[in-house]
Amino acid sequence: MSKAKQLRDRMAERGLVRIMAAHSPLSAVLAEEAGFDGIWASGFELSALYGLPDMSLISMTQHLDMLRAIAGRSSLPIVADIDTGYGNAINVIHAISEYERAGASAVVIEDKTFPKVTSLAAGGRQELLRVEEFQGKINAAISTRTDPNFLVIARTEALIAGLGEEEALKRAAAYEAAGADMILIHSKQKAPDEVESFVRAWSGKAPIVIVPTAYPEMNEERIKALGRIAIVIYGNHAIRASVTAMKDVFARILKDRGIHNVNLDIVSVEEVFRLQRMDQVKVDEDRFLE
């Protein structure tokens, strides 16, 4: 069974699939051990890992390299954040081939112009493509995939761009008509009302995906009550948790003039060895080194 089929089956069985962002194989391993259903190969997190803004500065090659590394260490399905598809419909054809081959089970493509600006940035430039042009991108993605279970998720930024619910619904319907398997509706409002209203008004058959980064009150009980949301993506919590922890530890080391206190509160080297699967290395050494 392909991981794409596994992802579809999980949605059918569980009603709501929980996807955690990752920016490295290590963060993907931790997400899998925690019990998440899949990995979000986040463009925002990878950009942050490189110390760059999320503005189409990370190349497809860089993102693919990390996705392959994640796929090599995690058994979970991977949903790849491919922003605008790296260009027009021709670029999307190339991207879908590469991401499917690299081990992705799904891609999310958004209807912004290239290069994009991250959605949650205050005052960021949020320009959307013509509906017909984005339909061409979705159609190109659907026509290119080789596994029919591979999910093409169309993300509309109409609410992010301040164009309102009517425009978001119109675009979502057009993208579903172009073949999108799912619709991701995004919002930067601090309360979930805008997203909840969209979901209630949505009359299409395509299930909904949300990323409740800006509206954290949207817990899973509230999500399930709406009945149309099939995937929730926790979109940048891995990198934010990493930044929080590193800032705290670094400051404490300087304050304490040593690691004697902080050493009690961080994982042991042995735990890192476990995550690196050093036990298997020892087994292989005993078996193969002559």
Write out the catalytic residue numbers. Answer: 54
Torsion angle of C-alpha atoms 219, 221, 222, 223, degrees rounded to 10: 80
Residues 207, 229 contacting (CB under 8 angstroms) = yes
Residue 19: strand, helix, or coil? strand
Are 39 and 7 in contact, with CB atoms under 8 Å apart? no
Question: Which tokens hold the place of 286?
Answer: 């005993």
Q: What is the DSSP string of 25-78?
A: HHHHHHHHHHT-SEEEE-HHHHHHHTT--SSS-S-HHHHHHHHHHHHHH--S-E
**Helices H / strands E in the chain, number of each:** 12, 8
Q: How far apart are CA 277 and CA 122, in angstroms?
A: 42
